[in-house]
A and B are shown apart, each in its own frame.
Chain A
Amino acid sequence: MKKHLNFHPIFIAFVSVALLGASFQNLYAQKAKNTVRLKAKYVKIMDGEIYFDIAAAAKVGKQNLDVSHVDIYAYNEVNDEEIELGKTTTNAKGESKFVLPNLNALKPDSTNTYTVNFSFKGNDTLKKASKSLSFKNADIKAKIITKDSINYISATLIDTDSTSPLTKTILNIQVNRLFKSLPIGDEYNYTDENGTIFVPIEEGIPGVDGILTLEVVLKESNDYGTVKAFVKAPVGVPSVEESTFDERTMWSPRNKTPWFLLIYPNILIFITWGLFVYLIINLFKISKS
């Protein structure tokens, strides 16, 4: 019996390591959590909402899956201090919108930079994750100018806190449409030394009653995030209502049948069935004669 247990020490060590590794692997397999990735974007609408677009995704196997219905906490970080701003929950697509009442809800640091941290605290299957976002406050002031019968949109981009214009920065000009905004002007509109751009508005763009909603957008700037300014102005062409809802068409309901379709087929039906009646009367006449 003793002879049987007399294994080589190296063999015993190898088996022990293998067994230990296997047990750890098993342990890991049971409690393995998936890593969550958070994305956050800061968006400021001039004279409107200030919000953060948040998206949560996790890599499960080789697939990136949306992390739905989880709570994301928002904190304002100022000088190593964390002030809780609130929480938001992701939707079925793993997306969430965290709205700030105004920018005064945040405290900036000494350089007037705001830092917001979004944190997911983890759960049984997902690891905790966080995403930090830093930005400064910028304003866009936009207006419509008419010069030589041509309409222009003028927009000035400034750093709000320093009130200094932001030069050589790209601003996008676009017209608000139903599905996606329509870009107008040059592809890249750089602000000048006054932080201003000056873009002509094309003629003939349709809008309800000729009113267009023009958007000036600083898009996903590293320092200032996304800032949008909207200007409504009657610089478009009134759009024509092309609905045939009240007309008599081939695709209308039965009470709006086109007149020709009511008249001609009914005449044909009347003649045909009138002749049938005549022929049946002839049968009676034959039987009586």
Chain B
Amino acid sequence: MNTNDKLINDLAPQKFGKLGVIWTSTLIVIIIIGIIAYIDQVIKGQVVTNMRDYALWGIYISNFVFFVATSFVGSVTVAILRLTNNTWRTPLVRIAEIITLAAIAMAGITIMLDMGRPDRLIYLFIYARLQSPITWDVIIIPSFLVISFLLLYFPLLPDLAILKDHFKEKNPVLSKWYGKLSLNWRGSDKQKALQAKSIKIIALMIIPLSLILQTIDAWLFSTTYRIGWDSTNFGGYFIAGAFVAGLGALVTIIYIVRRVYKLEDYITEFHFDKIGKLLVLACLTYLYFNINEYLLPAYTASVDEATHLNTLFSGSYAIPFWTVTIGGIILPIIILLFKKGRKPLPMFIIGLIVVLSSWWKRYIIVTPTLLHPFLPIQGVPESWRHYFPSLHEWAITTATLAMALLIITLLVRFLPIIPIQRTADEQELLKTTKTIEP
């Protein structure tokens, strides 16, 4: 078997093992439960949720913000590392692209789950008011979905052509699909030139688009004058948070994929080391914005602001607040600063903690503010003063997370998770360089 055949064999999509089948089935069951809960929510109305007059944004919106944040990973690992000529990105980019696509698709779906009347979705377009950040969101999410798809698809073309040939005898049906999706890719100079030019445009486009996406997401909150949201820091704060959330998700999934598909030769400790350093940078940036976001208001706090901050620092939200701050920002900085901390397993654990913290961080951003309105809460049932998601909300939200994981799982199942052509080109280059060297 020559090097190229080995490469294709190693990197071509593989059938699920028993664990993969169990994993996929579990996700499908969770999704079905979520769909049932959602149908019930549509029939009975949002009374089945625990959102009321005050906590009118709940777990759905925090989940939406989490998905939007996670989608930032494509821009970081693919576009920024590409434009800065960081070649170590190669085995990581495809997974980053897949996460980006899954996350932004689920962000779009999640926001619809929060609508009391989903049948009126079209009104968002028909009656769009450009002054509203909601309209900006309605514009940017489909745009980002398109760019995320193109970001994944263009570099895939040569690999799809390779897979077409690879599966010609083993699985003709699959081979046919790969053939169709490869758009007759033959690797001609014209095709290569068109592809390179397109990828360059996408890489350039996705950076401002993802910055706009994260900023609009932040402005959804900061344009409301609410305590805890009314901050000029919010755009940068959200971008930094997305930087952390995206990289956390990337590290976690890379580790799992590497283990399951036995890709230790391709995704090496060197890559974990590099991405670990990038995560430290992200966490430090996020820490800086967190200090800006909490310390300055604490120093100059009005009575209402102080009440809000006390709830976070020492009140009813203190445990989740400090857990996500320490677990999601401080702990990764400390551990990943050490070389041993940037080994695959510690990185996986840190990545997982970062992802969980990122999710809860959005919950901390969304909920406490809503429970601190300017006018006192009065004349309403006691339960309206608090918010914790109902069973319906948990079921639906868990289903969206499962759906994102299912999209990732299916794409990992049917697409080469490490770019085959590019890896081959780089190895060829490496070989050539070594030959030239004395």
Contacts and interface: CB of A to CB of B under 8 A. Distances in A.
Interface stretch (B61-69, B186-194, B340-348): B186-194
B146 interface: yes
Contacts of B201: 275, 278-279
Given A265-B136, A272-B205, A275-B205, A251 B194 contact: no
| Closest 8 pairs (CB-CB, A-B) | A287-B183, A254-B129, A289-B190, A282-B198, A250-B131, A257-B130, A261-B130, A287-B184
B143 A273 contact: yes
B38 to A, nearest CB: 30
B410 interface: no
Interface majority SS on B: helix, strand, loop or mixed? Answer: helix
Nearest to A248: B131
Interface string B146-167: 1100100110010000000000
B185 interface: yes
10 contacts: A275-B205, A278-B201, A279-B154, A279-B198, A282-B195, A282-B197, A286-B184, A286-B195, A287-B184, A289-B194
Contacts of A282: 194-195, 197-198
B100 to A, nearest CB: 16
Contact of B130 (A254, A276, A278, A285): A254
Contacts of B127: 254
B150 A276 contact: yes
Contacts of B194: 282, 285-286, 289
A249 B139 CA distance: 20
Contacts of B202: 279
B131 A251 contact: yes
Given A257-B131, A258-B131, A289-B190, A272 B184 contact: no
Given A272-B205, A282-B194, A289-B188, A254 B128 contact: yes
A249 B132 CA distance: 12
Interface in A61-84: none
A269 B130 CA distance: 12
A285 B191 CA distance: 8
A253 B150 CA distance: 36
B209 interface: yes
Interface of B: 127-131, 136, 139, 143, 146-147, 150, 153-154, 157, 183-185, 188, 190-191, 194-195, 197-198, 201-202, 205, 209
Nearest to B153: A283
A265 B130 contact: yes
B153 to A, nearest CB: 8
B56 to A, nearest CB: 20
Nearest to A271: B205
A251 B225 CA distance: 14
A105 to B, nearest CB: 45
Interface of A: 249-254, 257-258, 261-262, 265, 269, 272-273, 275-276, 278-280, 282-283, 285-289
B130 A272 contact: no
A276 B184 contact: no
Interface majority SS on A: helix, strand, loop or mixed? Answer: helix
A253 B129 contact: yes
A272 B142 CA distance: 11
Contacts of B153: 283
Nearest to B188: A289
A283 B184 CA distance: 10
A279 to B, nearest CB: 5
A289 B130 contact: no
A276 B148 CA distance: 11
Residue among A250, A265, A279, A283 facing the most chain B CB atoms (10 A cut-off): A279
A280 B147 CA distance: 11
A265 B185 contact: no
Contact of B129 (A257, A273, A279): A257
B146 A252 contact: no
A279 B128 CA distance: 27
Contacts of A257: 129-131
A267 B197 CA distance: 23
Contacts of A283: 153-154, 183, 198
A272 B143 contact: yes
Contact of B131 (A252, A269, A273, A288): A252
A289 to B, nearest CB: 5
A253 B131 CA distance: 9
B127 to A, nearest CB: 7
A283 B180 CA distance: 12
Given A257-B130, A276-B146, A283-B183, 15 more contacts: A254-B129, A254-B130, A258-B131, A262-B130, A265-B130, A265-B136, A269-B139, A275-B205, A279-B198, A283-B153, A286-B157, A286-B185, A286-B191, A286-B194, A286-B195
Nearest to A255: B129
Contacts of B198: 279, 282-283
B183 A286 contact: yes
A288 B186 CA distance: 11
Contacts of A269: 139, 143
Contacts of B188: 289
